[in-house]
Amino acid sequence: MSNTQSTFAKPAFSSALLGLPQRQLFASYDLDETRAMVGRVMKPHRLDVSGRGQRLAARMHHVPLGDVSLSRLHYGAEVDIVPGPLEDFFLVQMPLAGRAQIECGAQCIDSGPQLASVLSAADATTMRWGADNDSLMVRISRALIERTLAVQLGRTLDKPLCFELGFRWRDNAAWINLLQFLLEGAAQTPDLARYPLITSHLEQLIAATLLSVQPHNYSQAAPARCGNVLPRHVRKVQEYLQAHAHEPIHAEQLAQVAGVSPMQFLKNLRLERARAELQAGASSVAAVALRWGFVHLGRFSAEYRARFGESPSDTRRHH
């Protein structure tokens, strides 16, 4: 394993989503209540305690982000879970502790802290979670991920997307970076889902990252032959991604590589819309920044001042 990979081998996710009361969806000793609450986030399913003499002590934390959601689930007892085909979504399950036996379609793995599972939407799934299994999960809508793949291929899909079941997530720097970013955002911005300009970017990033890092039945498929008609700035971005796929990549970098003026136009437009809200007496600079897609408040303030010659708070105060 390279030094870069080993840096990410043991990410500190032990407190992820926990310690945040506003993120707790439920805590229960009741099987029917637990089945219903998990079913609301995922899908209706069969759930049974399989360990003799064991008592359920379930808890779930949850963060909705549009077509994606983050959850952390612990049953506190050995349970059998039979959802059948997930149908409308894909699910990445990453045990932080404990083990689970996972069957999805014709694939079967013994999942643990080093080996996550990627459940494919079209394949029937059955699972047995150990009493100590404590899993971080990313749910991605089927429509989002298949649409993202179709755009990458340049054509419609001719068969259901199916991922390799076992996922060595802790060895993958791109996935770990993404998780840390998502969890930090969930902790710092409790109402993140209220900002569609941000969640839409996150949705695309999550879907594209999973398609990139985890093998699936389209991994070797060649994109449609359209390179000769692609705009020059798109080809430049593709070449940059090929050369730097092993590094963290940000939208600002891609805009700089492409030299695409619409990106700056869009940023200026959003700054102007933010300014209009501040002039109208918006109650919070931070809320305005988030609503118009600026996650980093300090950067928003700097770009705002460069554009308008005053800080966002000055605009708000003077109007």
CATH of residue 271: 1.10.10.60
- Confidence (pLDDT) at 258: 65
- Confidence (pLDDT) at 8: 39
CATH number (domain holding residue 162): 2.60.120.10
The Cα 58–Cα 44 span in angstroms is 17
166 with 248, same domain: the answer is no
139 with 81, same domain: the answer is yes
- 140 domain residue, yes or no: yes
Last residue of a domain, one of 180, 213, 246: 213
Q: Identify the residue whose tokens are 């229960």.
A: 28
Q: Which residues contact 165 (CB under 8 A, 6 or more apart)?
A: 102, 104, 105, 107, 108, 109, 117, 118, 119, 120
b/e string for 191-218 if b means 16 or more Cβ within 10 A? ebbebeebbeebbbbbbbbbbebbebeb
- Please state whether beta strands 134-141 and 68-74 pair in parallel, antiparallel, or not at all (unpaired): antiparallel
- 222 domain residue, yes or no: no
- Confidence (pLDDT) at 254: 63
- 101 domain residue, yes or no: yes
User: CA triplet 207, 244, 302: central angle to 5 degrees?
Assistant: 80
Domain limits at 126? 18-213
- Confidence (pLDDT) at 3: 38
53 with 186, same domain: the answer is yes
Tell me: the pLDDT tens digits for 214-238? 999 999 886 654 444 445 655 666 6
Total domains in the chain come to 2
181 with 107, same domain: the answer is yes
156 with 271, same domain: the answer is no
193 with 244, same domain: the answer is no
170 with 250, same domain: the answer is no
The SS3 of residue 289 is: helix
Q: Which residues contact 51 (CB under 8 A, 6 or more apart)?
A: 77, 78, 79, 131
Q: Which residues in the chain show pLDDT less than 70?
A: 1-20, 222-238, 241-242, 245-265, 319
48 with 90, same domain: the answer is yes
The SS3 of residue 24 is: strand
- 9 domain residue, yes or no: no
- 223 domain residue, yes or no: no
The Cα 316–Cα 237 span in angstroms is 38
Q: Which residues contact 126 (CB under 8 A, 6 or more apart)?
A: 80, 81, 82, 103
- 263 domain residue, yes or no: yes
73 with 182, same domain: the answer is yes
78 with 206, same domain: the answer is yes
- 206 domain residue, yes or no: yes
152 with 255, same domain: the answer is no
Q: Which residues contact 187 (CB under 8 A, 6 or more apart)?
A: 20
114 with 159, same domain: the answer is yes
